[in-house]
Amino acid sequence: MTGSELVRPQTLRGFRDLLPQEMLLRNEVVARITRVYQSFGFVPLDTPVLESLPTLLGSGGEEADKQIFIVREAAKPVDPEAESAPEETGMRFDLTVPFARIIAQYHPQQIRLPFRRYHLGPVFRADDPQPEQGRFRQFTQFDVDIAGTSTVAADAEIVAVLTAAFDALGLVASATEGTPGYFVRVNNRKMVDAFLAGVGIADFEVARHVLRVLDKADKITPEALRAELGEGRYDVSGDRIRGVGLAEGLIDQLLDFVGVRQDTRAKTLEEMASRLPDSEQAQAAVAEVREFLAHLDALGVSEASVKLDPSLARGLAYYTGSVYEATLIGAGVGSIGGGGRYDGLVSRFSDDAVPAVGVSIGIDRLVTGLTNLGVEYGTKKTTADVVVLVMPKVEPAEATRVAAELRAAGIATELYVGESVGKVGKQLAYANAQGFAAAVMVGGNEVRDSTVTIKDLQAGAESRAQITDNSDYRAAKGAGQMTVPRSELTATVRQLLGAEENA
């Protein structure tokens, strides 16, 4: 094609490509979390990216509806004279709504309750992307949910598996500066509902508006928060943000309640309870949270990892009880996970009420945050452990045979096929840059003697790291290098890889 005919290579705003180095980190993060999810008995499930629009609309509330990508088939333009309108389709904005649809569609014939599942997949929201914070229009969520039980033990299980996932990533609960850490905030909407009812906010829509505003508490200034609870405000673009319309005295009461903080979850609960009305609704909410905290203690969930926070609301409309939100400390990416109980969502699709609870980890924000904190889980840029180099003056197929032998033994191996075939120095530079554990070489001497040379690249790099003299550096190039009989190739490589894994 001529220059004028070339299509400019670019991604859409809010979307991105994931190159190998980030994908390797993501894959490691996902693998660690998957092992934890499976250790709690969750099973995998997947659903289509596209859902019927009626499935999506109204599920997450007014704000979620505004962010749905609508899809139309280009080959089938809308015909205004058609007797029936074409099926309207949207791209899923989370994995929870499709899960509710799955339960309604396949229970009880193919899914038995209670049902635990995990789900990894992309979701789409047409909001304002902020790439530096890991916020995109297409992003990956990693969910765990339990459907078919209203027991508080299930809520605690979800929080426990969330903290276990972060522990598996090497994060430290409420770590101090310099150590990658996390904490999870929990609350219960029934407590907030009881408080709102006690101060005279009984209208459902007003109460939901209050929750949506509280959900912004860590994203806007205290002055902006107070303004939105009152008469409203203008944002930086000059657009009017409608306020809840609460009186100043009522705002003071509300901010006092959500500002409760104590050094333990039990103490926080008691102080929250002291601000609730003497009503059956409040007593039931406090009893539920008290039982929930008892289960967290029984599961060994530490005070450092999970805190009771009355300001936590979560913005989606389908939450009905406990809510959770996770933060990666000092990463600059906001929330990396959240969820809660949604006992009414399945009822949108079925006459059978099926209670459910779950949590979602945002993989994009999590990986961005880990990168910001310098967490890498190793320096490899490849999925192979070993690279076989192609030596000069040796039949190239000899290296191919060595690579095939290693692969047949279950050792992840790359055969060098680049433009530097026969140029050992350049091939070794490539091997070191990619982070292979070992390089295997079969030169003319090795072919003659039925041997093979194996170079421990990590040992070689370590031996040269502190050398400043050129002659010493050249002499150290042979560090970590051994020549063994060809028959001992796989055993020697396995031994080398095992020693590095245990180092």
**What integer pLDDT is reported at residue 468 of this predicted model?**
54
362 and 392 both lie in a single domain? no
Please compute the mean of the pLDDT values over residues 135-157 and round it to a whole number.
97
3-state secondary structure of 236: coil
Let me know: does 59 contact 318? Beta carbons within 8 Å. Answer: yes
The strand pair at 181-188 and 322-328 is best described as antiparallel
Among 93-97, 310-314, 388-392, the range scoring the smallest mean pLDDT is 310-314
Last residue of a domain, one of 372, 395, 417: 372
Among 54-58, 74-78, 274-278, the range scoring the smallest mean pLDDT is 74-78
Q: What percent of the chain has pLDDT over 70?
A: 91
**What integer pLDDT is reported at residue 85 of this predicted model?**
58
Please state the separation of Cα 168 from the chain's center in Å.
13
Which has the higher per-residue pLDDT, 314 or 337?
A: 337
**What integer pLDDT is reported at residue 121 of this predicted model?**
98
> Who's near 169: CB < 8 A, 6+ residues apart?
29, 32, 33, 370, 375
Q: Look at residue 430 and tell me whether its pLDDT is greater than 90.
A: yes
119 and 177 both lie in a single domain? yes
Last residue of a domain, one of 318, 342, 372: 372
Bridge partners (DSSP) of residue 415 are 388
**What integer pLDDT is reported at residue 63 of this predicted model?**
80
Which one-letter DSSP state was computed for residue 391? -
313 and 451 both lie in a single domain? no
142 and 274 both lie in a single domain? yes
pLDDT tens digits for range 231-252? 999 988 888 999 999 999 999 9
Give how far Cα 99 sits from Cα of 59, 103, 113, 119, 283, Å.
12, 6, 13, 9, 32
Q: How many CB atoms within 10 Å of residue 360?
A: 22
299 in a structural domain: yes
CATH of the domain at 435: 3.40.50.800
Relative orientation angle of helices 189-198 and 248-258, to the nearest 10 degrees: 150
* b/e per residue 341-351 (b: at least 16 CB within 10 A): bbbbbbeebee
Which one-letter DSSP state was computed for residue 88? P
426 in a structural domain: yes
425 in a structural domain: yes
CATH of the domain at 61: 3.30.930.10
Mean pLDDT of the chain: 90
99 and 65 both lie in a single domain? yes
Last residue of a domain, one of 372, 407, 436: 372
271 in a structural domain: yes
Question: Where does the pLDDT of residue 78 fall: very low under 50, low under 70, confident under 90, or very high at 90 and above?
Answer: low
Q: What is the radius of gyration, based on Cα positions, of the chain? A: 29
Q: How far apart are CA 141 and CA 181, in angstroms?
A: 20
Please compute the mean of the pLDDT values over residues 212-217 and round it to a whole number.
86
Q: Which tokens sit at 110?
A: 């193919």
Which has the higher per-residue pLDDT, 463 or 55?
A: 55
Of 38, 44, 41, 47, the closest CA to residue 105 belongs to 47
Let me know: does 123 contact 363? Beta carbons within 8 Å. Answer: no
Please state the separation of Cα 443 from the chain's center in Å.
46
CA dihedral for 178, 179, 180, 186, sign (positive or negative): negative
328 and 426 both lie in a single domain? no
DSSP for 91-154 reads E-S-SHHHHHHHHHHHTTTT-PSSEEEEEEEEEE--S--BGGGTB-SEEEEEEEEEES---HHH
238 and 261 both lie in a single domain? yes
DSSP for 263-326 reads SSHHHHHHHHHTTS-SSHHHHHHHHHHHHHHHHHHHTT--TTTEEE-TT---S-TT--SEEEEE
Q: Which tokens sit at 127?
A: 């909001």
Q: How far apart are CA 78 and CA 423, in angstroms?
A: 61
Helix (H) or strand (E) holding 232: strand 232-234
| Whole-structure pTM value | 0.88
378 in a structural domain: no
Q: Which domain holds residue 434?
A: 386-502
> Domain count of the chain?
2
Which one-letter DSSP state was computed for residue 347? G
137 and 224 both lie in a single domain? yes
The strand pair at 386-388 and 438-441 is best described as parallel
Q: How many CB atoms within 10 Å of residue 264?
A: 12
6 in a structural domain: no
The one-letter amino acid at 279: S
Q: Look at residue 228 and tell me whether its pLDDT is greater than 60.
A: yes
54: preceding bond cis by omega (within 30 degrees): no
240 and 209 both lie in a single domain? yes
Which has the higher per-residue pLDDT, 478 or 351?
A: 351
Q: Which tokens sit at 35?
A: 């092992």
108: preceding bond cis by omega (within 30 degrees): yes
Residues found in the chain: 503
191 in a structural domain: yes
281 and 430 both lie in a single domain? no
Give how far Cα 201 sits from Cα of 209, 233, 251, Å.
11, 21, 12
Let me know: does 22 contact 55? Beta carbons within 8 Å. Answer: no
Let me know: does 481 contact 454? Beta carbons within 8 Å. Answer: yes
Of 76, 108, 120, the closest CA to residue 352 belongs to 108
**What integer pLDDT is reported at residue 2 of this predicted model?**
62
351 and 422 both lie in a single domain? no
Q: Name the one residue in this structure whose structure tokens are 């089938």.
A: 76
Of 323, 325, 335, 330, the closest CA to residue 366 belongs to 335
66 in a structural domain: yes
**What integer pLDDT is reported at residue 187 of this predicted model?**
96
172 and 142 both lie in a single domain? yes
